[in-house]
Amino acid sequence: MKLSKEFLVLLNAALSGKNPEGGEIDILTSASPDDWQRIAAISREQNVTGLVGDAVTNLPEKIAIPDNIFLYFLAEKEKCAIQGRRMAAIAKSVIHGFNDAGLNPILMKGPATAAFYPKPELRTFGDIDLFFYHDEFHKARDIAKSESGFMLASDGSFHFKKDDVDVDVHDGYFDLHISEENLPKVPSAEATLLMLSAHALKHACGTGVGIRQITDYAMACDALKGQYDPDKLDAAFKESGIIKWQSLLSSFIINILGIQIPCPGGKTISEEPLLKIIEEGGNFGHHAAGRSIVYGKSATKRKMDTFRRFLRRLPFSLKYAPKETFRTMLSLLGGNLHI
């Protein structure tokens, strides 16, 4: 579904923590009931109902909002906040549990970025991802074996449930198929940004990427301003072979989200290819045509669907991250396909 200008105005308000003003107010004032329905549908598809809900419910009263849409967003915002606070408490308790055993997990992926948003609880949570350095990873796995739903994954990571929330534990910090030895040290601002960029890339080249994965990177980049060395970060992108992807990602954030972040080489490129992927499938590509059919099907069918989508995306992947795409293909041929 195409991102409407009204949706982008509201998303930007939520990300900046400021109410729309000037021309943005005019855009919202002239929105029709159908436009408001569309804002709700896009927000759902991109999994940002909490963020957009906050912007909608804080709009000045002179902007008319259909009652059903207003109530929908108010409920979504509160639901998201309740869930966000619950997830943050569970993540804290899981981390403390490992700390008590003398281990030092590092929160990663989406949940690690909630703190970078103006209202952290309004970033929709999925699961909890933790990283351990290799020497601690095995000890963590032994401890987690007694937790409910414990499972080992084919990539060596493991999974368990805490209060019905999925916890995934990894011994690799970056969604990249290269040795992490030459990449930024974890934890560091540079490592956080590379991890989030590579995570978005992985999904962009596979089932699809949504706005929320992009805003995670944008918010981290904005919040960590002054804490990372842009040259060092560019060097890490080059080392990873994803510098062109980084230009695309930064250009999308600057041109579409209106957030000023550094762009490799100092100039933006066309954001269209990424916009197309985001509009096609929404959050993690869940809304792409045919994707919902495979949910609930066997792991093999889901893997085949992921593989088909990966192949379809090859022209994009080879253009923006050729080295990583090649390494991913080798990994896929080895049977290590993750959904």
Surface-to-core class of residue 165, CB atoms within 10 Å of its CB (0-12 exposed, 13-18 middle, 19+ buried)? middle
CB of 35 to other proteins, least distance (A): 18
Collapsing DSSP to helix, strand or coil, 160 comes out as strand
CB of 57 to other proteins, least distance (A): 5
CB of 62 to other proteins, least distance (A): 10
Comparison of 24 and 54: residue with beta carbon closer to other proteins: 54
CB of 122 to other proteins, least distance (A): 14
Q: Which residues contact 57 (CB under 8 A, 6 or more apart)?
A: 70, 73, 74, 77
Query: Within the chain, what is the greatest distance between any pair of CA atoms?
Result: 59
- Please count the residues of this chain forming the interface with other proteins, following the rule CB under 8 A: 13
The strands making up 165-170's β-sheet, listed across from edge to edge, are: 106-108, 128-131, 165-170, 158-162, 151-152
d(CA 228, CA 207): 30
Comparison of 70 and 326: residue with beta carbon closer to other proteins: 70
Comparison of 65 and 107: residue with beta carbon closer to other proteins: 65
Q: Which residues contact 301 (CB under 8 A, 6 or more apart)?
A: 294
CB of 75 to other proteins, least distance (A): 5
78 counts as binding other proteins under rule CB under 8 A: yes
d(CA 49, CA 143): 36
Pattern 37-76, other proteins, x by CB under 8 A: --------------------xxx-x---x----xxx-xx-
d(CA 331, CA 337): 7
Question: Is residue 284 a contact partner of residue 207, using CB atoms and an 8 Å limit?
Answer: yes
1 counts as binding other proteins under rule CB under 8 A: no
Helical (H) or strand (E) element with 202: helix 189-204
164 counts as binding other proteins under rule CB under 8 A: no
Comparison of 70 and 133: residue with beta carbon closer to other proteins: 70
Q: Which of 17, 82, 101, 227 binds other proteins (CB under 8 A)?
A: 82
Comparison of 79 and 286: residue with beta carbon closer to other proteins: 79
* Residues within the interface to other proteins (CB under 8 A): 57-59, 61, 65, 70-72, 74-75, 78-79, 82
